[in-house]
Structure 1
Amino acid sequence: MGTLAAAQPLLIALILAWSGYGKLTSPDQADRTALPRLLGESGTARPGWFGASRAVAAYRGVAVLEIVIALLLLRSWAIGAVAAVALSVGFTGFLVYSKIVVPEASCGCAGKSAKPVGNRAIGRALLLLATAGLAATASTAWWSAGVGLLVLVVEAAAFAMLSAELDRYWLLPLRRLRIRLGHPYAGTASDDTPLVATQRRVLLSPAYRAVDGLLRSDIHDYWDDEDWRYVSYAAKYDGRRATAVFAVPHQNSTPSAIRVAVVDEEGLTLYRPTVLATAG
């Protein structure tokens, strides 16, 4: 157990460095999170540090804090572990707040991601808290962990599976493989475009990433209307049953051309992303 605890600061440092770097390189993602609501910004952003909105300034501040703690973990692991515990508690609380108060907000945890805060993001924060708590009990430095460092491979894989920002590297390829191997609607589209091709476009679109956390089914209906194909999924929004409808243009193959709206059982729009990220 001692070597396992000693190894944790290295993993936490790498995760915080990655997260901090993502925030610093994509500060505009702050406006997609719950930070504007938390800081009382609505409508026109109020100026903060260095002329940026308060949300962006706070976002950058968290990024710098993450990198500082990452460096502490590598050099002064005992102090860094305690700081990481406090930071993880803050992350978890913020994500729970986001999910409850601003359900359409994205995590913003590691930069560009339009996906709303979901159980995976909260689970990742809790896992970070657990590893930081374990690191705080270490009696030796991480470079003395020996075979304990091998366990970090499994832990890193767990973090990757909980990170929506990394879905395009493993989850989307798996979904595309599943579609190719056995989707029941493949090749049945009325305009000679196989539904599997349409679904592949949807899965790769910013619109899909924006509502992925709300979806509760695979495709359950689709239809063509002039220049568009509409694809619907069962969804859940704010505890209510809903339907996510994607509009996929036949003539425009760019991912950003796909639009989505989440509607209730009466057809009223519950959520429509107005600004979609072009990268996830």
Structure 2
Amino acid sequence: MFAQQVAAAQPLLIGLLLLWSSYGKIVRQDSAERTALPRLVGENRAAPAYRAVGVVEAVIALALLAPPVWTVEAFAAVALAAGFTGYLVYAKIVVPAASCGCVGSSAKPIGHRAIGRALLLLATAVTAATATTGWWSAGSGALVLIPEAAAFVMLSAELDRYWLLPLRRLRLRITHPLSGTATDGIPLVATQRRLLLSPAYRAVDGLLRSDIRDYWDDEDWRFVSYTARYDGRRVTAVFAVPHHDSTPESVRVAVVDETSGQTLYRPTVPAAAG
């Protein structure tokens, strides 16, 4: 009985997630160029394909949220989630510097969190396919959506600025960033030295208004942030420094609006040699 209630509740969560995802793709189509879609479907077809995925997501989401409940809706969600997972794995292997593009503006390269989120969506969709009643009849099974939603939040890099970054800033108030090292043992001062020698740093040096404000490791990358000023407003400059490529040209930078998370400036730097 409870298992059926849990299954019945899943379309509500999936529908809301897909609506959020579709909004980012339909409204912020410029994000398509940062994904692996140009490599997969071609430069000219990347933006239309990105928008089309958003439309499909919105249709499936509305079908899941609105009565009557048809099993085909859940199976469509299963197919969509499986497609997401396969695409992210493909993109991470073939275009490792590409962003997920899952919900819009994040420029971070695809990591295990994005793939984990797609797998979690797949698992919830498979569970939803076993439901025999609508989500409005889930009863106590809806309580399971709370930890599930929390898991989606923790796996969504796009939401880090709402919970993870405040926690990191709190840590910075307690201990200076240069006093520690990252999880793989590379001192922050070594990362800073690489930054100062990189074309990416020179491209935005005139915009920076602080020393290192924050840093964190995410798989094969270290991200370092500075306070900056761009077009008359306060912004954040985020550098991506790969752990396993020591060439200065491998460093990337994006200037991001602190409020919306939108990338305002992403200079093109020379490719690493060899």
Asked if TM exceeds 0.5, the reply is yes
Provide, for residues 145-189 of structure 1, a one-character-per-residue CA deviation record: whole Å limited to 9, x for no partner.
111111111111110110011000000001111111123647xxx
Distance across 1 between alignment mates of 2:228 and 2:76? 52
Task: Assess, with a 3 A threshold, how the Cα gap between structure 1 residues 247 and 35 changes in structure 2: closer, same or farther.
Answer: same
What's the offset of the Cα at 1:40? Answer: 3.2
User: Equivalent residue for 2:40?
Assistant: 38
Task: Assess, with a 3 A threshold, how the Cα gap between structure 1 residues 137 and 170 changes in structure 2: closer, same or farther.
Answer: same
Q: Does the aligned pair in 2 maintain the 1:9–1:142 contact within 8 Å? A: yes
Distance across 2 between alignment mates of 1:93 and 1:177? 37
Aligned letter for 1:19? S
Task: Assess, with a 3 A threshold, how the Cα gap between structure 1 residues 256 and 234 changes in structure 2: closer, same or farther.
Answer: closer
Within-5 A mapping of 1:103-114: 103-114=96-107
User: Equivalent residue for 1:49?
Assistant: none
Q: Does the aligned pair in 2 maintain the 1:39–1:55 contact within 8 Å? A: yes
Count of residues in correspondence between the two structures = 237
User: Equivalent residue for 2:24?
Assistant: 22
SS in 1 for 2:102: coil
Provide, for residues 99-121 of structure 1, a one-character-per-residue CA deviation record: whole Å limited to 9, x for no partner.
10001100000011111100000
What's the offset of the Cα at 1:71? Answer: 1.1
What's the offset of the Cα at 1:139? Answer: 1.4
Give the % identical residues: 53
Provide, for residues 230-273 of structure 1, a one-character-per-residue CA deviation record: whole Å limited to 9, x for no partner.
86988875xxxxx8696968998943556556586663523535
- TM-score normalised by length of structure 2: 0.74
Matched, 1:118 2:111: yes
Distance across 1 between alignment mates of 2:18 and 2:32? 17
Show structure 1 runs of 5+ residues with no match.
47-53, 187-194, 196-214, 238-242
SS in 1 for 2:25: helix
Q: Does the aligned pair in 2 maintain the 1:217–1:233 contact within 8 Å? A: no
Task: Assess, with a 3 A threshold, how the Cα gap between structure 1 residues 271 and 7 changes in structure 2: closer, same or farther.
Answer: same
Matched, 1:66 2:92: no
Aligned letter for 1:21? Y
User: Equivalent residue for 1:179?
Assistant: 172
Q: Does the aligned pair in 2 maintain the 1:219–1:233 contact within 8 Å? A: no
Q: Does the aligned pair in 1 maintain the 2:9–2:141 contact within 8 Å? A: yes
Task: Assess, with a 3 A threshold, how the Cα gap between structure 1 residues 233 and 129 changes in structure 2: closer, same or farther.
Answer: closer
Aligned letter for 2:150? A
Aligned letter for 2:188? H
| Residues 9-18 or 224-233, more deviating | 224-233
Q: Match for 1:220 among 161, 181, 188?
A: 188
User: Equivalent residue for 1:154?
Assistant: 147
User: Equivalent residue for 1:210?
Assistant: none
Q: Match for 1:89 among 82, 96, 101?
A: 82
Distance across 2 between alignment mates of 1:164 and 1:250? 21
Aligned letter for 1:26? R
- TM-score normalised by length of structure 1: 0.72
| Residues 149-158 or 257-266, more deviating | 257-266
SS in 2 for 1:255: strand
User: Equivalent residue for 1:140?
Assistant: 133
Distance across 1 between alignment mates of 2:229 and 2:23? 37
- Aligned-residue Cα RMSD (Å) equals 3.5
Q: Does the aligned pair in 1 maintain the 2:239–2:251 contact within 8 Å? A: no
